[in-house]
Amino acid sequence: MLDLKPIREVGYFDKVTISLPSPSSQGLPSRQLDILVENGGRVNFGHPLAVRKGISGSVVVDGVTQANWKIYSFEFKNSFIQNIDRGGVWLRTPAKEDSGPALFKGSFTIDGTPKDTFIDMQGWNKGVVFVNGANLGRYWMKGPPGSLYVPAPLLSQGINKVMVFEFSNPKSPPQTVSFRSTPVLDISHRHR
């Protein structure tokens, strides 16, 4: 059992039971419980093949099993990314420590012929990067790489779009990315 005090807005847990003090027991207004489950990959052989991901039991608050869940899937398929990019209102929000998952978007311009490059994710924590709707992959500052490869065919002359789904706040606002001709390798020693 892991008992967290005071209540934090964001936490990372792996296969544990979590006990949080109830807002009502502390005279605080009620709060909404949001749970984000990341599928960090899959096992393709052996005993763990049958292991399920996500919430495998009840969520209990103050002894009451929670029901009537609202479940949203972030599959990050191409159509999902395009709908996010086209619709909705994007807000500028101040970076707060432990503010939780967020989706960031930006653009950059290429004047000449696009070339292979690397997107530098140093200063970010953990997430997924998309360029022009294509999923480049995941990054995590535990390393070892601190950049993702961007092949030239994904880029266009003119305006290009970048979208970053960050699980927690980037470490060094403002939230920016840069491109470089060489990869950032073996950053894991910096975060030990």
Please report, rounded to a whole number, the percentage of residues in the chain having pLDDT higher than 70: 64
Chain centre distance of CA 73: 13
Q: Which CATH class is domain 80-191?
A: mainly beta
pLDDT at 131: 95
Q: Enumerate residues 6+ apart whose C-beta is below 8 A from 181.
A: 117, 118
Q: How far apart are the C-alpha atoms of 139 and 129, rounded to whole Å?
A: 8
- With H, G, I as helix, E, B as strand and everything else as coil, classify residue 184: coil
Annotated domain spans of the chain:
1-72, 80-191
Greater confidence (24 vs 128) lies with 128
Q: What is the pLDDT of residue 6?
A: 37
Reported as a single tens digit per residue, the pLDDT across 78-125 is 787 777 777 666 666 655 555 667 888 889 999 999 999 999 998 888
pLDDT tens per residue across span 43-83: 777 777 766 666 767 777 777 787 887 777 777 787 877 77
**Top-confidence residue, 43 or 142:** 142
More confident residue, 9 or 11: 11
Q: Is 134 exposed, middle or buried (0-12, 13-18, 19+ CB in 10 A)?
A: middle
- Confidence check: pLDDT of 5 > 60: no
